[in-house]
Amino acid sequence: MTGVPASAAGGSGRPAPGGKLGAVAVDQASLWNIANILTMIRLLLVPGFVALLLADGGYDPVWRAWAWAAFAVAMITDVFDGHLARTYNLVTDFGKIADPIADKAIMGAALICLSYLGDLPWWVTGVILGRELGITLLRFVVIRYGVIPASRGGKMKTLAQGTAVGMYVLALTGPLATFRFWVMAVAVVLTVVTGLDYVRQAVVLRRAGLAEAAQASAASQAAAGASSPSSAASPEASSSGAAPSAETAEK
């Protein structure tokens, strides 16, 4: 929107309430909505979470309990910010970029720290982070052909990852330590399976997009070819029609 002349604003020389300044104010207000604030809180929690998890060598149960609390808050805000953004139409470009970054930052920090402390094998961290980064890149590749919707398997994967990593952050022993091992095993399996399914859907989506583009190109060429003979025949028709007139004039 643009500003209005002074006469349209009642002759006072001030812009109307719906003018350019009002639009700028609305844009600024939309950036600082509750969904984006929760996303920024999650980003700010990452360095604090790392400091708590690695405090006192990383093996103090009290510090690790505090680290788990920070991780739990990050996971909860991840659920609420997306829900609020979709429900109350608070989706912004900042949120689209910052939300996935915050998700991967807290999860990546937890996995790397746990592997550094020797609690989690490095290959588990590599599989999970490799899958997440690979799917993110693949999403940018196929976005021109469409968007792959979130699946139930993907949601189960996220829940399993959050639960498993949260249990590893806590200093668990005995049967609970064994239980968290199996929860992490389920999370790794879901990570791989859903990643392969995402690749399959991306391939199907890309093929469909290329097929539609080829059909549109063929239809355009056919339309151009159909119009060219008629235009080429017009000069012949006009010249053949002009010849009798000339002969008649000579007679």
pLDDT score recorded for residue 230: 53
Q: Cβ neighbours of residue 234 under 8 Å, at least 6 residues apart?
A: none
pLDDT score recorded for residue 29: 42
Show me where the domains of the chain are located. Answer: 29-214
Q: Are 198 and 149 in contact (CB under 8 A)?
A: no
Instruction: Provide the pLDDT confidence category of residue 22 given band limits of 50, 70 and 90.
Output: very low
pLDDT tens digits, residue range 178-229?
Answer: 999 999 999 999 999 999 999 999 999 989 888 888 888 888 888 887 776 5
pLDDT tens digits, residue range 105-151?
Answer: 999 999 999 999 999 999 999 999 999 999 988 988 888 888 787 78
To 5 degrees, how large is the angle CA 72–CA 73–CA 74?
90
Look at residues 106, 79, 102 and name the one whose alpha carbon lies nearest to residue 169. 106
Region for 55 from its dihedrals, namely left if φ exceeds 0, alpha if ψ lies in -120 to 50, beta otherwise = beta
Q: Which two tokens stand for residue 65?
A: 């309990």
CA dihedral 86, 90, 95, 100 (to 10 degrees): -10
Q: What is the mean pLDDT of residues 63-86?
A: 90
- pTM comes to 0.73
Residues, the chain, total? 251
CATH architecture of the domain 29-214 equals Up-down Bundle (1.20)
Separation CA 7–CA 19 (nearest Å): 14
Helices (runs of H) and strands (runs of E) counted in the chain:
7, 0
To 5 degrees, how large is the angle CA 130–CA 134–CA 139?
155
pLDDT score recorded for residue 249: 44
Say which residue the tokens 């668990």 belong to.
Answer: 172
Judge residue 9's burial from the number of C-beta atoms within 10 Å of its C-beta, 0-12 exposed, 13-18 middle, 19 or more buried: middle
100 pLDDT more than 60: yes
Separation CA 212–CA 209 (nearest Å): 5
SS3 category, 90: coil
